[in-house]
Structure formats: C-alpha cells, structure tokens
Amino acid sequence: MTDRAGGGPTRRQLGRGLTALGGALILAPLPAASAAPDADESNGDAHGHPTLRHGSAERAGLLPAHLRQLVTDAEAFLGPSPKYPWYAGAVLLAGRGGTVALHHPIGKAVRYSAYDEKTDTAVEFPADQQIAMAKDTVFDLASVSKLFTSILAVQQIERDELELEGKVASYLPDFGGAGKQDITIRQLLTHTSGFRAWIPLYSAPTHEEKLQLIWKEAPLNPPGTRYLYSDLNLISLQLVLEKITGHALDALLRSEITDPLGMRRTRFNPPASWRPKTAATEDARKPWSGLDRGLVWGEVHDENAYSLGGVAGHAGVFSTAWDLAILGRTLLNGGVYGRARILEPESVELMFTDFNTAFPGDEHGLGFELYQHWYMGAMATPRTAGHTGFTGTSLVLDPTTDSFVIVLGNSVHPVRSWRSGSAPRVAAANNLARAVPVRPARGRTAWFSGMATATSATLTLPALDLGAGGRLWCALWWDTEPQADALFLESSTDGGTTWRPVPFTTARHGEAAQDHPTGSVTGWSGRAWHRLSADLPEARRLVLRWRYATDRLYVGRGVYVDAQRVADDDRVVFDEARPADAARIEAVGWTAAKN
C-alpha cells in the first residue's frame, strides 16, 4: 500500500561508478563508522564497526535537551492532530554511532476494538483489556518491508545472480506482456517502471489469477520516463527473487538478513504467541478497506499482502524498533554488524546513491528514498536514506552524522482516515537533527537562525563607515530545505528602508570557491563551515544584515554565522570578536548557540 535486456553492474563493477538515466552517478564512500562518538572496539567488532547498546545522549554525542523534546513532541500527537490522534501509540528510537540514546514507548499498542463510521468515533476496549506500548512492541512495518526486499535483491546482484540493468522479463517471461518487456530491475527498485501505484490483487481468488493481473498490467508511462511510487514494483521483484533463488521470500528474509543479524523479532506472519506484544492496526471494513476483516491485530494490514498469504515484496514484515535499529546500524556500518556481513560496502553506497537525477524531488537509491524532507525533516541530506510505512512506521538513516531515528506508530488504529500528514515523523527527525551539535567556527558561540517554519530571522550589523568600500569576512554554515528556505546577505544605505543583495563567495576547506551572485544560499552545503568573503560598496552608513526566511512546510538544520569581520583598506571597521562590536549586533529570531 502506498504512503506516498542489458547487462548491468555485477559485484565487481559496483564500486566503479555508472551512468544512470538522468545523469552521471559517481559513488562516494560513506563516512567511516569509526568516526561515531562511541565506535570503539568495546562497542563493536574487531574492525571498529559499532554494534548497538543503550547509552546516554552525551555518549552518543547528542544534546540531551533535544532528545527530551523529541519525546514531548511525539506525545503531543497522542492528542488531536489536528482533529484525531495521529496514532494510538508509538515506540521512538534514536541514536548515533553505536549508542541508542533514546528508546521510549508512548501511548497504547491496543486501544480500540472497532470504529463506528456513522459517528466517526472509536469503540475502546475496556481499560483492563487495553495494552500499553512497550519497547519491544512488534509492529506491522507496511512499506518499510520494501527495504528488506531491496536488500535481498542487491545481495543477488553481488552474487552475479541478478543484473541491475537486466530486463525483468528475462527472469520472468510472462512479465513481458502489455508493454513491460523493457522494464529493468533498477526501474523496479527506483519506482521508474511506469507501473501505477497499485491494483487490487486481493480481488483475484487464486494465486495464479493474481499473477495474471500483473502479467496483463500495462505501464501508465513508458519505463524510465517518470517516477511513480508503486507496490507492484516490489511485488514483481519478489517474484524475480523467488524464481532465481528457488526460495520463498520469507525464507530468504530469514536466512539472508534476520538470522545473520540476530533480528529475532522480525519476520513475515508472526505466530499467534506474538499477538499480545503486537500493535493493533485497523478495523478493516469496506468501503475504506478493500476487505472486511474487522480489527486487524497480529496479521498484515495491507490487503494485497494479506491475499498473498502475508508474504509480499511490498509489505508484510513485522519488527520491533530495536531490530530495525540493528538493520539501520548494519547499513551505516557499510553492510556489517558484529561478525555478520550481509552486504559489501559498495552495495550500501549504491543503495544510498540517487538514481533518479532526472526526477528532482523524487531522489531514490536502490529501494531507499533519499533527501525527503516530508518525513526526514532536518535530517534530510542528499545521502539521508529511509522509508515510511502506511501503518505509521518510518526509518531514517543519516550517514553524514552517523545518526538514525525510528518512529513506529499504529496510526491506522482504529481507522486510516484519522491519520493526516507526516508531522510526527518530521518532528522526531527535526529534534534528532538539532541534537547533533554544530560546533562554533571560533570561540564559544555562533549565531543560529533556529529551525522554525513560516518565519524570518535577521542578524544585523551596526551602521559602518566605508568611505572607500570594504570587505566582509565570516564563517557560514547552512543546511536548508532546497529552494523553499534561503539565507540572504543584504545591505542598506538609507537606514534600512530599502535593501539590496550583496554577492559573496564561499569556500570550504579543500574545495574550490563558489560564487553566490544573488547574495543568497539554499539547500545542502555539506554540513561544514565555509569561509565567506564579500566586497562591500563605498558608503558612509552601510548596514549589513543576514535574513533567513522559511516557508510553512519543512526546514533544514538551519544557518549559523560566526566570526564576522569587516575591513576598510587596512582598517578593521567591525570585528565580532571584540565585545563592544558584538554587543552592537541586532538579532531578531536568532540565538547565540554554543552548538
């Protein structure tokens, strides 16, 4: 359920870089896991790859106040969001390196027995029959299951059993009808096959008839010409995997991922004994559900996955927050966890590399979504990878900061129509992003824009006498929602009545300088300090200001400005390091942040 023939690279070719539709792909290595705050041999394997343990925010290199705020914000969504609770409960997990600094349940795993569509109200179980969330509550991951199928496919690419650019029809001849003969494995993994979002496979009474619906399905668009998220992509990939391996998908999941990694609470079709520890989902009845099933609890929620026996490439995996964190840590480690390696580092890089450069805004690696502010919030970078699930689940992995956040909620409990948007996921990611400190470029503090939506923050220098013109230098750090949010450097010679852009140049250590002729920056800067310089016009009373403006939707990590200095010829006119000059700065909406 959606929540939103040619030889391809083999294992030997994965690390070399390749050209994909829409642009050249250059594979860059992931940041070394050993750079994490606690990635030492006491908390990892012999090679320094961290394994997970609970620990403090400080040990993880995180700011504890923002982790506390993560929980506070999550609890707010147990109430009207905006009309109904976003979820009945959730398990929150966040960490960095090998340290899980937050693992916290909120609300109820089981609260409602039914939904009354006539009154749009929920029928609650008696209080003594309701079940509180626990750290080890098992969730139906819904579309997060797609990540497991994708990993299994990339494993087969490593083993030369599957070609990334191979035609699906070369593995499944019946698939090639109705204009699908040129669809590739890569297009299934990146949702560029042309398939529509889904079809009601559950309407077909037999397995063979369900397959016939797929064989007869025609693409809405020519393969490779458009991004369109579709469950059919991963269902088709499941069929390919089962054909080339001779094993069912649930057996592959167990032998290739969960058993090696010790993920003992992750599987398709959990046994009945798990039900008391499993979060309930929906009172599934027509017309809002495709099937009349009543309260779904301990069985897969997705109708197509249910009709496929609970084992499907697009949905059906059940797991806990801790198990999912193990998977995330494995990928951030480059495919290894403890003594188990499930992927080569080059394969993980491929999964975290954008293949959809022809479709800006729909960045996608192999199975993983990339750079999606709508649920990754301020954790979003071009390499941030993750996925969501319709039931209220999400996983976000940020290789840049070696951090991860998991939100597992039962947001279709009691009914799917109560849930709106993705605000709890964004809030959790924003708080974790803010918890990763940004050290000032010089001294103890730097000016910070904040991370509020639909707002503007300004940082204004006092009027300066630049009789012969001058030059501004400072340190600048920025990470904003691309295009939507931006930082502007502006000047005024009439006391602030009118403002003009000031072009500037930024340079990051070891990289070529970048010109910004519009006097503004937006988007991704590498989350590193840049040295800025700008020529200033001749003026008797020149006022300079930084202006940071955000839209109403999402934000990045924000903007920091530090070590501002203005010189006129050989004379220093302003220096932020001088207390008297710093005291004259006017900041509106900005804060002096230590990190």
pLDDT tens profile 346-360: 999 999 999 999 999
Question: In the prediction, which pLDDT does 467 show?
Answer: 83
Contact 329, 404 (CB under 8 A): yes
Q: Helices 231-245 and 207-216 meet at what angle, rounded to 10?
A: 120
CA 238 to chain centre: 24
Mean pLDDT within 480-489: 97
Please provide the average confidence, as pLDDT, over all residues in the chain. 92
pLDDT at 5 over 90: no
Q: How many CA atoms lie within 13 A of 568 on its CB side?
A: 14
- Type and span of the H or E element at 24: strand 23-25
**Strand, coil or helix: what is 99?**
strand
Nearest 5°: the CA angle 160, 166, 167 is: 145
The pLDDT value recorded for residue 465 is: 93
The one-letter amino acid at 533:
S
Q: Which two tokens stand for residue 45?
A: 């394997």
**What's the confidence (pLDDT) of residue 28?**
37
Nearest in space to 520 (alpha carbons), one of 501, 539, 538, 536:
501
Q: Write down how long the chain is.
A: 595
For 460, residues 6+ apart whose C-beta sits below 8 A from its C-beta are 496, 543, 544, 545, 546, 585, 586, 587, 588
pLDDT of residue 593: 87
Tokens of 257: 């991922």
**Environment class of residue 243 by beta-carbon count within 10 Å: exposed (0-12), middle (13-18) or buried (19+)?**
exposed
Q: 570-579, pLDDT tens digit by residue?
A: 799 999 999 9
Token representation of residue 99: 């340290």
Q: If we measure between CA atoms, which residue out of 253, 249, 388 comes closest to residue 309?
A: 249
Residue 144 near residue 231 (C-beta atoms within 8 A): no
Residue 501 reports pLDDT greater than 70: yes
Report d(CA 282, CA 451) in Å as an integer. Answer: 35
- Classify 142 in phi/psi space as left (phi over 0), alpha (psi -120 to 50) or beta: left
Q: How far apart are CA 517 and CA 532, in angstroms?
A: 13
Residue with tokens 């940041």: 31
For the segment 182-211, the average pLDDT, to the nearest whole number, is 97
Q: So what's the pLDDT on residue 510?
A: 87
Q: Which two tokens stand for residue 337?
A: 């966890």
504-508 vs 470-479, strand pairing mode:
unpaired
- Please give the C-alpha separations between residue 25 and each of 14, 22, 50, 135, 589, in angstroms, as whole numbers: 11, 9, 29, 40, 39
Confidence of residue 18 (pLDDT cuts 50, 70, 90): very low
pLDDT tens column, 238-278: 999 999 999 999 999 999 999 999 999 999 999 999 999 99
Q: Of 408, 409, 257, 324, nearest to 52 (Cα)?
A: 324
C-alpha distance from residue 548 to each of 236, 428, 440 (Å): 46, 23, 18
Report the distance separating Cα 320 and Cα 549, nearest Å: 39
- Taking the C-alpha atoms of residue 163 and residue 512, their distance in angstroms, rounded to an integer, is 37
Q: Are 162 and 185 in contact (CB under 8 A)?
A: yes
Token duo for residue 237: 């990939």
| 71 Cβ contact list (under 8 Å, min separation 6) | 92, 102, 104, 106
Closest of 485, 580, 504 to residue 544, by C-alpha = 504
pLDDT tens per residue across span 136-188: 999 999 999 999 999 999 999 999 999 999 999 999 999 999 999 999 999 99
Query: Whose CA is closest to 367, among 349, 382, 383, 387?
Result: 387
